[in-house]
Structure 1
Amino acid sequence: MEQLPLVSIICLCYNHARFLRPALNSVLAQTYPNLEILIVDDCSTDGSVRIIQEYLQAYPQLRFISTKYNRGNTTAFNMGWRGSSGRFILDFATDDVLLPERVAQQVQLFQQLGPSYGVVYSDAEYISDDSAHLYFHSQKHLPALDGDVFAEVLRRYFICPPSMLIRREVFEELGGYDETLAYEDFDFWVRSARKYKYAYLPEVTTQRRVHNRSLSSGWYQKGNLLLASTVVVCRKAATLIKTQEEREALTVRLKYEARHAYLTGNRKEAGQFLEMLQQVAGKQVLYRFIEVLNKYNIDLGFLRELYYRLRHKS
């Protein structure tokens, strides 16, 4: 009988002491039998390493990598996957939780697909700090897509990042995550979807934790490096588009980012998005107006705040 392919779970920890035990327990509870588990700690300061040491003593099959000093998520993950051997790679933040059948379900789907498929992703449940149910990813981000998703990843957010299982060859071809960026998801989607197909598994496989320390919580705060990284990724995407559909999809993305950057006072990034928008789509009357407002520091941020107050009230 052919052995099941090895799956490497890269468990990324940075100050996750509060959530670390349920996260690691969920990895150890996987029903899939052929796993390689690497814990990468990015120089935590909250007692996470002490908890990791407890697990290393109790479960000798676990491997541990320390980044020695805080290097950021993209570099920490690259250290992990480059030290791994699995045919498939799972990027797992240790404030999230894997459901027991997660790996088994996704490997089973991968085995039905050809080598042109690089990523299997799924539905996920969002949970609070205290693990209370919030909502399901599919409730807010349908439709999910299969096959060539390049244009759609330019256009909108529809993939729950921790739900992905990735073929090793994808990372080898891309050279891993771009370590110059503050976050990896959008850049990975753009670069990988240009060549590889994606498959959607309509099952809840993961619990994604939402809390005030999560990476996305301060996305449009002034000076946040996440927005500057989005500028870089959009510039990459502009060099990769091949069709009018892809150009239109990138235009939608640039309009969205330009609006939000302007309305949150991120003047530099707003100007960069607006400049790219003109290069990709030509003159856009409304966005020429926004460009003028941005140039002269005219603040209309209250409109965004009013919109969200009304939306959440309803």
Structure 2
Amino acid sequence: MSIVSIITPSHNSTQFISETIQSVLSQSISDWEMIIVDDCSTDKSVEVIQSFVEQDSRIKLIRLSVNSGAAVARNTAIEAAQGRYIAFLDSDDLWLPDKLEKQLAFMQVDNYPFTYAAYDKIDENGQVFGLIGVPDRVCYSDLLKMCSIGCLTAIYDTEYFGKVTMPLIRKRQDFGLWLKLLKKTEYAYGLNETLAQYRVRTDSISANKANAAKFTWRLYREVEGMNVFKASYYFSHYAVRGLLRTKAPGLARMLGVLK
């Protein structure tokens, strides 16, 4: 039984999946399993992933028979996971070599059951162009106002929570999972040290922001069950903070929106 199960959904990821897997293979600790769930790719992703599976038994591939979206792919991996800790890494993102070692030590010293970390933003060529810092801790209501937990850095402890899966929505399902976890514990704790790299794709960045806003509203209303007034309250915080982070990062830092 591995100490960490790494959850990786994959769909048409040929361009980046090798680099993603290599970032896991380069970890300074070796006691992990990586469960990649392919969501009906039509490119050569499966062949690329399979080549790694054949070389390293810690890497496992599950293939979905019907294209089902990232929530189903991630939940399939969570259900198959054997590790105590559940970590997340998408098929185009990267971990720095000491990511697991440092974050697990951070968790174990103070028995934190749910943690996250700072990360860089990189472009499609792997060039760093931004840093996303994180608050020291967040509670449920904090997170509703701004999701400050990057999926590629999140880890939770199944000995504390059991296995907890993502809500079955097409987008923002990771946000939904963090909220589920924070209903079971008071805080998630942040390690404000860069441990990962989030790849920003050039395709439809503005459309992605619009989609994120739409699905955030749906998350408040349909998953969290908020009435329209409560949802509007949290959505206004989400919208203003998101705008500050994008358009006025200096002011955002002054207000504590950015670290």
Q: TM-score, normalised by structure 2?
A: 0.82
- The answer to whether residue 131 in structure 2 is matched with residue 136 in structure 1 is yes
Pair 1:203–1:170, CA change in 2 (3 A): same
- Note the 1:237-252 alignment, pairs <5 A: 237=224, 252=233
Unaligned runs of 5+ in 2: 250-259
Residue 54 of structure 1 aligns to a residue in which SS? helix
Cα offset, 1:101, TM superposition: 0.6
For 1:51 and 1:183, the matched residues in 2 are separated by: 28
Q: Is the 8 A contact 1:73 1:183 kept in 2?
A: no
Q: Where has structure 1 moved over 4 Å in runs of 4 or more? A: 256-259, 309-312
Pair 1:129–1:113, CA change in 2 (3 A): same
Residue 84 of structure 1, aligned match among 63, 81, 86: 81
Between structures 1 and 2, the one with greater helix share: 1
Residue 217 of structure 2 aligns to a residue in which SS? helix
For 1:173 and 1:21, the matched residues in 2 are separated by: 28
Cα offset, 1:59, TM superposition: 1.9
Q: Is the 8 A contact 1:211 1:217 kept in 2?
A: no
For 1:134 and 1:180, the matched residues in 2 are separated by: 30
For 2:247 and 2:28, the matched residues in 1 are separated by: 45
Q: Deviations over 1:40-79 (max 9, x none)?
A: 1111112111111211222233211001221100000010
- The answer to whether residue 186 in structure 2 is matched with residue 189 in structure 1 is no
Residue 60 of structure 1 aligns to a residue in which SS? coil
Cα offset, 1:169, TM superposition: 4.9
Counterpart for residue 277 of structure 1: none
- Note the 1:13-52 alignment, pairs <5 A: 13-52=10-49
Residue 109 of structure 1 aligns to a residue in which SS? helix
- The answer to whether residue 149 in structure 2 is matched with residue 177 in structure 1 is no
Q: Is the 8 A contact 1:40 1:66 kept in 2?
A: yes
Pair 1:22–1:173, CA change in 2 (3 A): closer
- The answer to whether residue 117 in structure 2 is matched with residue 122 in structure 1 is yes
- The answer to whether residue 202 in structure 2 is matched with residue 202 in structure 1 is no
Unaligned runs of 5+ in 1: 241-246, 260-303
Counterpart for residue 136 of structure 2: 145
Pair 1:310–1:230, CA change in 2 (3 A): closer
Q: Is the 8 A contact 1:9 1:89 kept in 2?
A: yes
- Note the 1:222-261 alignment, pairs <5 A: 224=211, 226-235=212-221, 236-237=223-224, 252-255=233-236
Residue 71 of structure 1 aligns to a residue in which SS? coil
Pair 1:81–1:173, CA change in 2 (3 A): closer
Higher mean alpha-carbon deviation, 33-42 vs 226-235, is at 226-235
For 1:136 and 1:257, the matched residues in 2 are separated by: 20
Residue 18 of structure 1 aligns to a residue in which SS? coil
Q: Is the 8 A contact 1:12 1:91 kept in 2?
A: no
Residue 89 of structure 2 aligns to a residue in which SS? strand
Cα offset, 1:171, TM superposition: 6.2
Q: Is the 8 A contact 1:150 1:190 kept in 2?
A: yes
- The answer to whether residue 101 in structure 2 is matched with residue 104 in structure 1 is yes
Residue 159 of structure 1, aligned match among 149, 152, 158: 149
Residue 104 of structure 1 aligns to a residue in which SS? helix
For 2:136 and 2:170, the matched residues in 1 are separated by: 26
Q: Which has the higher contact order (CA 8 A, sep 6+)?
A: 2
What is the aligned-residue identity percentage? 24
Pair 1:252–1:218, CA change in 2 (3 A): same
Q: Is the 8 A contact 1:170 1:192 kept in 2?
A: no
Q: Is the 8 A contact 1:23 1:94 kept in 2?
A: yes
For 1:39 and 1:26, the matched residues in 2 are separated by: 14
Pair 1:184–1:59, CA change in 2 (3 A): same
Q: How many residues align?
A: 244
Residue 176 of structure 2 aligns to a residue in which SS? helix
For 1:213 and 1:113, the matched residues in 2 are separated by: 41
Q: Which amino acid aligns with 2:183?
A: R
Q: TM-score, normalised by structure 1?
A: 0.69
